[in-house]
């Protein structure tokens, strides 16, 4: 079957032809040098027909794998049934999805605002935090990443993302991640919300200690502030629990999910307690596309797939297998392997970019997390044999 993105079959160099066409109208933010046209589970194929093992998953997005049958069927069925139904009107599939979502979430989280991306849901979290507390100051962690829209950008640490757009609309007090003393000093009666990734993703794959997250909960309560977790990257089963914060037994007032939640269909979800949700004045927030039945059908299919195939436990097992495999390589070039479940970072004693390029040449797709860390965030359906293949490729490249 020919699709509009397939290169013309007669083209002698399909990848180069596609890249040239792509470059003609793209924003200029990126300069891709590979073009993917098909996937299956944790495999991807480029326009020349070369196969890759995908340990990037669109940065932790393709949770149930590429071309997942349940997900594809759910999207196709819903597309033929009803795509448009905004959240001011109820919809059967959205309700089913939301009920399924709350079966995976701890009390007292019981309300959700559905959006279309991580950053958009984080913007909503900021507005709800201001509405609930009447305060504006946020305590956020150095190396944290919350997205590129202006409010989310204010909570993003990396100067090169933030500085060209300052002043940003929200005052942020920065603390060293996983440092209890700095958190204790920073949270005051003017703090609206403590905002943390339970496992930092872009910042280098750093899990917070349970003690730190517990202290954050206590400090928020003591100062009348909210505790908000950004689980856009680490949530939805990737770390071996539905929420990464479950490892610490800490329940926030707000938590944001996105990336893997609908397996690649755009979605964001701001999950809240009832008390937080009720603080928003009538008409105080909204969205055209958020909660549309297509994304809801996809989200429902993802949750069903996670449960039916035991993918959350599988993430724990496959993560442990990969970590043990990399550690067994005993490479002098590796400083540390860290993370939880299938959200792993391999910190090198050298720059990651040349190693990532060599891995890709050998058919393994990964992504960096800072200058020296290689992120391993494959689809949760990755098999034992695929994990072993990834380790073997790492072995060849690190020995090379
Ligand atoms: C932890 C975290 N928060 C927020 C975002 C922004 O999400 P989006 O790209 O969907 O706006 C990301 C994306 O990488 C993320 O990893």
Domains, the chain, in order of start with CATH, read 14-55+310-399 (3.90.1150.10), 70-308 (3.40.640.10)
How far, in Å, CA of 195 to CA of 170, rounded? 12
Residues with beta carbon inside 6 Å of ligand 1? 59, 117-119, 122, 145-147, 197, 201-202, 230, 232-233, 258
- Would you state the pLDDT for residue 6? 57
How far, in Å, CA of 322 to CA of 17, rounded? 36
390 half-sphere exposure, CB direction, 13 A CA radius: 34
How do residues 153-205 score in pLDDT, each as one tens digit?
A: 999 999 999 999 999 999 999 999 999 999 999 999 999 999 999 999 999 99
Give the ligand 1 atom nearest the CA of 120: 11
- Would you state the pLDDT for residue 12? 86
- Would you state the pLDDT for residue 233? 98
- State the 10-residue block means of pLDDT for the chain, 400 residues long: 56 92 95 97 98 98 98 98 97 98 98 98 98 98 98 98 98 98 98 99 98 99 99 98 98 99 98 98 97 98 98 98 98 98 98 98 98 98 98 97
How far, in Å, CA of 197 to CA of 213, rounded? 10
- Would you state the pLDDT for residue 7? 54
Residue 240 falls in which region: left (phi positive, over 0), alpha (psi -120 to 50) or beta: left
Q: How far is CA 182 from CA 143, 152, 211, 396, in A?
A: 15, 22, 14, 42
Mutate to test the pocket of ligand 1, among 58, 60, 118, 202 (most ligand atoms within 8 A of CB): 118
Q: Whose CA is nearest to atom 7 of ligand 1?
A: 118
Helices (H), the chain: 14-25, 57-60, 69-81, 92-103, 118-133, 150-154, 159-162, 180-186, 210-222, 274-277, 293-308, 311-329, 353-361, 384-399
| Secondary structure class of 9 (helix, strand, coil) | coil
- Would you state the pLDDT for residue 11? 79
- Would you state the pLDDT for residue 57? 98
Which is nearest to 305 in space by CA: 297, 326, 321? 297
How far, in Å, CA of 273 to CA of 349, rounded? 43
Q: Whose CA is nearest to atom 16 of ligand 1?
A: 233
Q: Are 36 and 360 in contact (CB under 8 A)?
A: no
Centroid of ligand 1 to alpha carbon of 289 (angstroms): 18
Rounded to two decimals, the pTM is 0.97
- Would you state the pLDDT for residue 1? 47
Helices (H), 134-204: 150-154, 159-162, 180-186
Angle between helices 353-361 and 384-399 (to 10 degrees): 120
Give the ligand 1 atom nearest the CA of 231: 1
């Amino acid at each position: 079957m020919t699709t509009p993105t397939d290169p013309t079959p007669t083209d002698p160099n399909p990848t180069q032809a596609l890249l040239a066409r792509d470059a003609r109208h793209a924003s200029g933010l990126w300069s891709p040098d590979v073009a993917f046209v098909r996937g299956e589970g944790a495999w991807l194929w480029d326009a020349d027909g070369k196969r890759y093992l995908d340990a990037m998953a669109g940065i932790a997005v393709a949770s149930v794998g590429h071309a997942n049958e349940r997900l594809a069927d759910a999207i196709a069925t819903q597309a033929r049934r009803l795509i448009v139904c905004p959240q001011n009107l109820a919809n059967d599939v959205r309700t089913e999805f939301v009920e399924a979502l709350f079966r995976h979430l701890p009390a007292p989280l019981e309300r959700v605002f559905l959006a279309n991306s991580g950053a958009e849901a984080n913007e909503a979290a900021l507005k709800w935090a201001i509405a609930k507390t009447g305060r504006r100051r946020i305590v956020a962690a150095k190396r944290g990443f919350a997205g590129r829209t202006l409010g989310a950008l204010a909570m993003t640490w990396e100067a090169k993302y933030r500085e060209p757009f300052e002043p940003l609309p929200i005052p942020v007090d920065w603390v060293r991640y996983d440092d209890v003393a700095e958190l204790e000093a920073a949270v005051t009666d003017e703090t609206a919300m403590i905002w943390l990734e339970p496992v930092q993703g872009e910042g280098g794959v750093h899990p917070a200690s349970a003690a730190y997250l517990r202290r954050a909960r206590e400090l928020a309560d003591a100062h009348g502030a909210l505790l908000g977790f950004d689980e856009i990257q680490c949530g939805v089963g990737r770390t071996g629990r539905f929420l990464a914060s479950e490892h610490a037994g800490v329940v926030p007032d707000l938590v944001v999910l996105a990336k893997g939640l609908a397996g690649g269909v755009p979605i964001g979800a701001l999950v809240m307690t009832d008390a937080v949700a009720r603080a928003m004045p009538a008409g105080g927030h909204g969205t055209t596309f958020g909660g549309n039945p297509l994304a809801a059908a996809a989200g429902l299919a993802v949750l069903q797939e996670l449960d039916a195939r035991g993918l959350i436990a599988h993430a724990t097992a496959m993560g442990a297998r990969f970590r043990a495999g990399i550690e067994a390589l005993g490479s002098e070039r590796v400083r540390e392997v860290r993370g939880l479940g299938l959200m792993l970072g391999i910190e090198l004693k050298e720059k990651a970019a040349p190693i990532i390029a060599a891995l890709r040449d050998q058919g393994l797709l990964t992504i960096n997390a800072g200058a020296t860390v290689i992120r391993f965030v494959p689809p949760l359906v990755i098999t034992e044999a695929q994990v072993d293949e990834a380790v073997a490729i790492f072995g060849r490249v690190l020995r090379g």
